[in-house]
Amino acid sequence: MSAGLLRTAAAAVLYTHFAVVLFNVFWLVAVPLGAWRGWRFVRSLGWRTAHLVSLAVVALQALAGSLCFLTIWQNDLVSAAGGPSAAPSLLERLVTRAIFWPLPLWAFVVLYVGALAYAAALWWLAPPRMTGPSRAAAQAKARP
């Protein structure tokens, strides 16, 4: 694979990583706000489950002292390309600054475990609900 293609793949992983960060932050804010405002989508069982699982993966990696698998994958792609390009795009620089903070590992452990605990507490404070066909099927099974 060419160095250019490997760098493009590394950038794609970086942008995917950023999307995951945005997803996690969005739900941490949207759930309490949406519960207060009566927004039904914030109680979606599927989205809430995906959010909790995503935060659990991040927290477990931090507790294990490991980098995020997306960071590892991106670093491996950059290394395979022969190192970073001389001039990363403005977007790559902005995204990198937004998601890679110069903090010690213990700070990330506290942050990620705290975020997971907060998201878990939101399951109790603003519980998710089944919607759509799954809910109808569950209700049909519950009827005698």
Where in the chain are the domains? 3-142
Q: How does pLDDT run across 89-99, given as a tens digit for each residue? A: 899 999 999 99
Res 89: pLDDT: 87
From the number of C-beta atoms within 10 Å of its C-beta (0-12, 13-18, 19+), residue 36 rates as: exposed
Amino acid making up residue 16: T
Give pTM, 2 decimals.
0.84
Q: In terms of C-beta distances under 8 Å and separation of at least 24 residues, what long-range contacts does 27-35 make, across chains too?
A: 27/51, 27/119, 28/115, 28/118, 28/119, 28/122, 31/119, 31/122, 31/126, 32/122, 32/125, 32/126, 34/126, 35/122, 35/125, 35/126
User: What percent of the chain shows pLDDT beyond 90?
Assistant: 81
Mean pLDDT of 123-128: 96
- The span from the CA of 135 to the CA of 124, in Å, is 19
- The span from the CA of 140 to the CA of 133, in Å, is 10
Of 3 and 112, the structure prediction assigns the larger pLDDT to: 112
